[in-house]
Chains A and B, each alone.
Chain A
Amino acid sequence: MKCNEVREKLSPYLDRELDQDQMKSIEDHLDACSICLKEFELLKKTDAFLINIPREDLSKEFHEKLVRGLEKHSIPIDKKAHKRRSIRSAGRLGRKGPWAMDTFDDFPPWSLGHVYLKLINKNH
């Protein structure tokens, strides 16, 4: 293998993502070519720099927020309440009784809530 071919494969070689024959060819080339070997060592160092950045911890509030998020998705849904209100009233607070699904007017577009609200709205 030529040096330029080897250098293009140094990255997958480092990741051990080449087949056995290619791995062997590059290994042989690196044994014989100090310039490519130096290039390879630099790539390894680059990865080592990246790995050595200490991992951050999540904040103490993270789990609390996550639980709140789960609770939000798990609130019992009063489907009848839906039929009594149009989508215009969605999000109004202060009413009594069980919270209807449309109380939460911030459903992201991907969510079941969003789809459900759309369907309900369409039927009215």
Chain B
Amino acid sequence: MEGSDYKLVQAIGDGNREAFEQLVKRYQKGLFNFIYRYVGERSTAEDLTQEVFLRVFLAAGRFEERAGALVSTWIYRIAYHLSLNELKRRQRFLRISNHLEDAMQGRGERSSADLMEVQALKQTIVSGLRLLPENQRAALLLRVNEGLSYQEISEVLGVSFSSVESLLFRARQTLRRHLEKLMQE
């Protein structure tokens, strides 16, 4: 089943499982990677991704009420709030951050000839992401990795457009300084 996100959500609201499968296929990788990089733990990210899709399935019938909202924004907003709650609930961010580094080092393009370089790159970026406050990290991942516009990010995070600009500016400054520092060492 093909169709716009909105049509799929409408069909899901009518209980159409094929539409749901299509939507899952469309969003699963991006969503999972966003959550994974945000919360830093693979199994938690997978559970949260599942939870997001279940909520989408259950709430699809009510989506029409949110006129004007994009399906992608809606889905990422659910993902963001679930992930944020998870981080708050567990209050174990430091431990998760360490997991992030460990977990991401051991995965990915293992067959690549320049594996060492890829791993070093991951380590550098991951350690930089750890330095960012959660809202800056979310904004940066949504912008750079998921390609959301500032308006969409503002809807996902529930902040103003200018706040998004500021979050991204500060996130990039921090990450840039981090990379510069590592390159000088």
Contact = CB atoms under 8 A, between A and B. Distances in A.
Interface string A36-47: 000000110111
Given A15-B150, A50-B144, A66-B24, A56 B32 contact: yes
Q: Which of A53, A63, A112 gathers the greatest number of chain B CB atoms within 10 Å? A: A53
A53 B121 contact: yes
B176 interface: yes
Nearest to B32: A58
A70 B57 contact: yes
A47 to B, nearest CB: 5
A73 B54 contact: yes
A53 B108 CA distance: 9
Contact of A56 (B42, B53, B121): B42
B179 interface: yes
Contacts of B30: 55
A46 B176 contact: yes
A57 to B, nearest CB: 7
B176 A42 contact: yes
Contacts of A10: 169
B180 interface: yes
B169 A8 contact: yes
A54 B124 contact: no
Interface residues of A, number: 32
B28 interface: yes
Chain A: interface secondary structure?
helix
A17 B57 contact: no
A4 to B, nearest CB: 13
A110 B165 CA distance: 32
A62 B108 contact: no
A63 B30 CA distance: 15
B165 A54 contact: no
B122 A53 contact: yes
22 contacts: A8-B169, A11-B169, A12-B165, A42-B176, A42-B179, A43-B172, A46-B179, A50-B144, A51-B144, A54-B109, A55-B29, A55-B30, A55-B33, A56-B32, A57-B29, A62-B28, A62-B46, A63-B24, A66-B24, A70-B57, A110-B55, A111-B58
9 nearest A-B pairs in the assembled complex, by CB-CB distance: A11-B169, A54-B108, A46-B176, A17-B150, A55-B33, A50-B144, A11-B168, A69-B54, A54-B109
Interface of B: 17, 20, 24, 28-30, 32-33, 36-37, 42, 46, 49-50, 53-55, 57-58, 104, 107-109, 118, 121-122, 124-126, 140-141, 143-145, 149-150, 165, 168-169, 172, 175-176, 179-180
